[in-house]
């Protein structure tokens, strides 16, 4: 699905860029980019996500504002097409930071984010993928987190004209996960982080090692210490591999507009645009 991934990230990039071009905020830009990828069946976010052990879609998302450190997160939601929009409402309209399950759905509905049925988020490709996985598991056991098992979480980082950065991450989590399992993606500092004084970062990959290492914040701290995002992104992947034999990918951006993209999986689709140039790819290994 290489082409579908490249198409998906390019479309998300265009949506975010058009917000920034109009003078919109980094926060608005990443919300639009991530919502678009949630709507795209290709990715493990929103409709088309991996199914959990019970055959349900269960979604996590976080959005964070680097200017104010305000954040909004949802975990284990089952009735939201666009968890990032609910997360954004939490960021802007709630004194709280994080809602899970039915409470998150209730908050979303009360704040104008429409609910859907869980079945509306399930597609045939994923029903088959789960069936296949469980069949193999019953036979000889699966290595659930082998690097070849796709991690298709989506994320975005942006810098706006006001000099503010922001980050968002959204996921359906890992294939065949236990119901109620929460990954790194929606946890502050793990799958997502943003602070104008350090960096905006979004991760994908095997969530358990990433959250143990608080990897997005770890990376932002390296940038705050004076390192380039490009170096910090690669170092984060080295640290993930060396410390916990983890795998994944990360995108990083600081308030000076310097960018880092790294992964230690075979592939990770990415797209990136500055005033000077636009790029996209499916591999970006090495600094």
Would you tell me which residues interact with ligand ASP (CB under 6 A)? 44, 151-153, 171, 173-174, 183-185, 191, 204-205, 207
* 66-85 residues labelled b (16+ CB within 10 A) or e (exposed): bbeebbbbbbbbbbbbbbbb
Active site residue 153: yes
Per the CB < 8 A criterion, the answer to whether 228 and 256 are in contact is no
Report the residue number, 24 or 207, with the smaller CB distance to ligand ASP: 207
CB of residue 6 to ligand ASP, shortest distance in Å: 17
In the Cβ-directed half-sphere of 187, how many Cα atoms lie within 13 Å?
A: 18
The Cα 91–Cα 137 span in angstroms is 40
CA 266 to chain centre: 18
SS3 of residue 202 by DSSP: strand
Say how many C-beta atoms besides its own lie within 10 A of residue 155's C-beta: 30
Q: Which of 42, 153, 203, 219 is catalytic?
A: 153
Cα 88 from chain centre:
14
Quote the least distance from Cβ 203 to ligand ASP, whole Å: 7
* Helices and strands (H and E) in the chain: how many: 8, 11
Provide the annotated active-site residues. Answer: 153
């Amino acid at each position: 699905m290489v082409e579908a991934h490249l198409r998906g990230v390019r479309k998300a990039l265009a949506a975010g860029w058009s917000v920034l071009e109009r003078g919109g905020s980094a926060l608005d830009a990443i919300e639009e980019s991530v919502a678009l990828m949630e709507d795209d069946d290709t990715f493990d976010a929103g409709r088309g996500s991996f199914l959990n052990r019970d055959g349900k879609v269960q979604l996590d998302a976080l959005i964070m504002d680097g200017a104010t450190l305000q954040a909004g997160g949802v975990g284990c939601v089952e009735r939201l097409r666009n968890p990032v929009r609910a997360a954004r409402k939490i960021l802007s309209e709630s004194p709280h930071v994080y809602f899970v399950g039915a409470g998150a759905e209730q908050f979303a509905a009360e704040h104008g984010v429409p609910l859907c049925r869980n079945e509306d988020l399930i597609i045939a490709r994923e029903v088959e993928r789960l069936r296949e996985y469980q069949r193999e598991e019953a036979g000889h056991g699966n290595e659930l987190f082998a690097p070849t098992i796709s991690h298709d979480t989506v994320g975005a980082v942006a810098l706006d004209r006001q000099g503010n950065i922001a980050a968002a991450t959204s996921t359906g989590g890992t294939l065949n996960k236990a119901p109620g399992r929460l990954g790194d993606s929606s946890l502050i500092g793990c799958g997502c982080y943003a602070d104008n004084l350090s960096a905006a970062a979004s991760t994908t990959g095997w969530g358990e090692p990433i959250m143990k290492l608080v990897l997005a914040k770890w990376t932002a701290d390296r940038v705050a210490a004076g390192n380039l995002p490009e170096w910090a992104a690669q170092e984060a992947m080295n640290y993930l591999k060396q410390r916990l034999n983890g795998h994944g990918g990360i995108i990083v951006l600081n308030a000076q507009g310097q960018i880092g993209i790294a992964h230690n999986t075979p592939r990770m689709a990415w797209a990136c645009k500055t005033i000077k140039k636009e790029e996209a790819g499916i591999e970006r290994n090495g600094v």
